[in-house]
Amino acid sequence: MDQSRINRRGFLGTVGAAATGLALAVPTTVQAQDRNTASPTSGSNPDVLTRTLPRTGERLTALGLGTFLTFDRKPGDRRDDLRQVFERYIAAGGRVVDTSPLYGSAEVSVGQFMGEFPGPDQLFLANKVWSTGEYLGDESHAQESFRQSRLRTWRETIDLMQCHSITNAQVVIPLLKAWKKEGQIRNVGVTHHESAAHEQLTAIVERDDVDFVQTNYSIFNRDADRRLLPAAADKGVGVLINLPLEKARLMKVVEGHPLPGFAEEFGATSWAQFFLKWVMAHPAVTSVLCGTSNPDHMSDNIQAMTGPLPNERTRRRMVAHMETIPAFGSIGSMPWYPGKEKMYSGLIREAQANAARRLQFNRGRSP
């Protein structure tokens, strides 16, 4: 098994077993670009870009903190860098954090950090349930997962619980709706990170089954433009975005390339901000989840959460510029986090390595 080729489905399955143009026309002036106002989840920085949830009027910050892989550490490993990442995000006015019980120890880290900083109730916490349903109608696995998530994050009520990767959605989504009705969660959502799942996600959104949908979307992979994002906008469904930087692959292909001069038109001073602002500018997008374990990278990312956003013409110009960079078209064949294969050595990496060793051992013993 090639350890450098990270696949989220493979990772999560292992851990769970062990424990080219824009298709959607965007308004020339992005109407969904809101400025912060006083509200429970809006933060304290009046310059932070927020989006309003159509169904509730609640405002969420345009940049969210993702924790897959980046916030996973083995027991006893130092997490000072992660604490700084969290602190800088909160200090800048960020108020959306996304995690999962299948992200190794990330959920535990999120819970601890939320307890260390003032005003944890101001954070919009998005979490997940992965319940495969091997026991037909038995909901005990999902119930226990939820119980643990509440304990790990020190939350009696979780803002958003999502059906992780549409796993067993026909059972999990009704259960989430029941939890919402009981006041244990505030919103119901569903997630996936692959374009192949967009049709299924769109169907769920169009049935009004969820309050939120989480999907992959980037300047490279614009598939969600076709149906999913328009459907979410039509139904008033909140949208969380994963893979906005294509797991560092976008950053890799622009190494050695200068930022185009027109980036100053929308306040981008780095490639990360360039890519994040492209995603944020879509009017259906609520919050863009971007994870890192590097405090300096977080300081860079949060700059995308302020200032102007590109309009439709500029977004098209941004795509056209990227298409002049030779390696841009090959991103889909690149491993996640290229050149960083030794990073993120937490529980997920350990579980994957153990599974690979067992597979190699069993193959060696085969007749």
The letter for the amino acid at 233 is A
Q: How far is CA 268 from the centre of its chain?
A: 21
Cβ–Cβ under 8 Å, residues 127 and 67:
no
Render each residue's pLDDT in the chain as its tens digit; 367 residues.
343 334 444 434 443 433 323 333 333 333 334 543 333 344 456 689 999 998 999 999 999 999 999 999 998 999 999 999 999 999 999 999 999 999 999 999 999 999 998 765 689 999 999 887 665 567 888 999 999 999 999 999 999 999 999 999 988 999 999 999 999 999 999 999 999 999 999 999 999 999 999 999 999 999 999 999 999 999 999 999 999 999 999 999 999 999 999 999 999 999 999 999 999 999 999 999 999 999 999 999 999 999 999 999 999 999 999 999 999 999 999 999 888 777 777 887 777 777 777 877 677 665 5
Q: Which residue has the tokens 């089954």?
A: 209
- Say what angle helices 140-153 and 169-181 make with each other, to 10 degrees: 50
pLDDT at 138: 74
pLDDT at 18: 37
- pLDDT tens digits for range 179-233: 999 999 999 999 999 999 999 999 999 999 999 999 999 999 999 999 999 999 9
- CA-to-CA distance for 277 and 63, rounded, in angstroms? 9
For residue 207, count CB atoms less than 10 angstroms from its CB and return exposed for 0-12, middle for 13-18, buried for 19 or more: exposed
Which strand (E) or helix (H) includes residue 361? helix 347-365
Give 43's DSSP letter: -
- CA-to-CA distance for 244 and 86, rounded, in angstroms? 19
Give 211's DSSP letter: S
Domains of the chain (ranges plus CATH)?
45-353 (3.20.20.100)
Nearest partner of 99 among 43, 155, 17, 58, judged by Cα: 155
- The CA distances from residue 219 to 8, 258, 323, in Å, are 20, 17, 10
- The CA distances from residue 285 to 53, 265, 288, 343, in Å, are 10, 21, 7, 30
Cβ atoms < 10 Å from Cβ of 29: 9
